[in-house]
Structure 1
Amino acid sequence: MDAKMIVSSRELKGSSNARRMRRDGQIPGVVYGDGGEARPVSLPAHEFEQMLHHHAGEQMMVEIELDGKTESVLLKDVQHDPLSGNVIHVDFLEVALNKKIKVQVPVEPVGEAEGVKSQGGILDHSLYSLDVECLPADILEKIEVDVSALKIGDVMTVKDISIDTSKYTILADEDIVVTSVLAPRLAAETEGEEGAEGAGPEVITEKKEGAE
């Protein structure tokens, strides 16, 4: 575990106090106990965001120092401001290190697909994260999927992901598509359909007229 953070207890609650904390470079947070009790805390914004920057996912085990005591907790939830993207609240959760938990792990394609490199296709990344069950100490930062062998028309699904099943259980249907390689024409048609769905009937009509 390389994620460490010094946090402080906080007594004051409410939105006005939370805003003042953020102006002072602190982020309000809560450490939830296994029994449901909640301990309000504050943590340094810059240090926390730097920690996130060096991890692919936002769910990880963190070693926190609180009131002189060090403990391992799960970073369970990070709330961001919808406009600025800044972190505005953090939830930590006490977990038993010998009990499996469910976490969300990012999925990242690696390599250059053969269908893209030599056939002019387009890689379609469909699934960006997966729910995985594992012990807290085994939490993955990300799941890498090697796409280098994929040709045009090839599809990689959840069942094709290589993972240590003795440690990890993927909580998703094995037939869900993770990534595929589309022919350029099919990719353009797919993008056009998605644009039409979001644009409404008028744009669809204009597209048909243009096609004629």
Structure 2
Amino acid sequence: MAASYELKAQARDRVGKGAARALRREGLLPAVIYGDKKPALPITIPVKETTLTLHKGGFLTQIGVIDVDGEKHQVIAKDFQLHPVRDDVLHVDFLRVTKGATFTIEIPVQFLNEDKCPGIKKGGVLNVVRHTVEMNVPADAIPEALEIDLANAQPGDTLHISAVTLPKGCEPTITDRDFTIATIAAPAGVKEADDDASEDGEAEGGDA
């Protein structure tokens, strides 16, 4: 499993809000590595490098390496906390990655050929119902995104999970229905015309 990033870290024995604030003044972040039936490992990681890694995108779907005092741990970021005002990173939780492991991860949805979509060209609007999909994925084949091609989508179309070509070994956690990812909302004029036609049909039926 190739790693997308590597961060230097040190084990920490100080915990609590006061200790966390002191670490941040030193340019460090509190973090934890857990999972694989091993004790949680509190660590510190550098603020600058971690922030840059996070803003590159895909932080929660990429395998990384944390070098803790010379011992390398293969991990995936499970969660992170941001300051409510400044958006500074405050804390990161990492999950150990082992061969053959499967994770439940929110995978982002990416729409292709939006500029060529007939439904949008005709005045329709892409209405995204799910920006991410929770999926069970193998650790060695985590997709960066689920791709939906809009090249043939028409006004009024509904795009379900069945329209997505899922990477091998990946499956959504919702399996009991073909849930909606997005719709192409019909232009207002088209909808009004359809409504008028429907009303005319009902009127004609009533006169019969």
Of 119, 126, 129 in structure 2, the residue corresponding to residue 126 of structure 1 is 129
Instruction: Verify: 1:147 aligned to 2:150, yes or no.
Output: yes
2:139 maps to 136
* CA RMSD, Structure 1 to Structure 2 (Å): 1.8
Greater radius of gyration (CA): 2
Give the CA deviation at 1:101. Answer: 2.0
Instruction: Verify: 1:58 aligned to 2:54, yes or no.
Output: no
Q: Is the 8 A contact 2:59 2:77 kept in 1?
A: no
Give the CA deviation at 1:69. Answer: 1.2
Instruction: Verify: 1:114 aligned to 2:118, yes or no.
Output: yes
2:14 maps to 12
TM-score (norm 1): 0.80
What code does the residue aligned with 1:116 have? I
Give the CA deviation at 1:36. Answer: 4.9
What code does the residue aligned with 2:156 have? G
Give the CA deviation at 1:116. Answer: 0.8
After superposition, where does 1:137-176 map in structure 2 within 5 Å?
A: 137-164=140-167, 166-173=168-175, 174-176=177-179
What code does the residue aligned with 1:24 have? E
Residue 137 of structure 1 aligns to a residue whose secondary structure is coil
1:195 maps to none
Q: Is the 8 A contact 1:97 1:135 kept in 2?
A: no
Residue 140 of structure 2 aligns to a residue whose secondary structure is helix
Unaligned runs of 5+ in 1: 187-212
Instruction: Verify: 1:181 aligned to 2:179, yes or no.
Output: no
Give the CA deviation at 1:155. Answer: 0.9
2:83 maps to 81
From the superposition, tell whether residues 182 and 33 of structure 1 become closer, same or farther in structure 2 (CA, over 3 Å): closer
Unaligned runs of 5+ in 2: 190-208
What CA distance in whole angstroms lies between the structure 2 residues aligned with 1:105 and 1:57? 11
TM-score (norm 2): 0.81
What code does the residue aligned with 1:91 have? D
What code does the residue aligned with 2:140 have? A
From the superposition, tell whether residues 184 and 20 of structure 1 become closer, same or farther in structure 2 (CA, over 3 Å): farther
Residue 165 of structure 2 aligns to a residue whose secondary structure is coil
Residue 139 of structure 1 aligns to a residue whose secondary structure is coil
User: Percent of aligned positions with the same letter in both sequences?
Assistant: 27
What code does the residue aligned with 1:12 have? R
Of 84, 95, 98 in structure 1, the residue corresponding to residue 97 of structure 2 is 95
What code does the residue aligned with 1:122 have? V
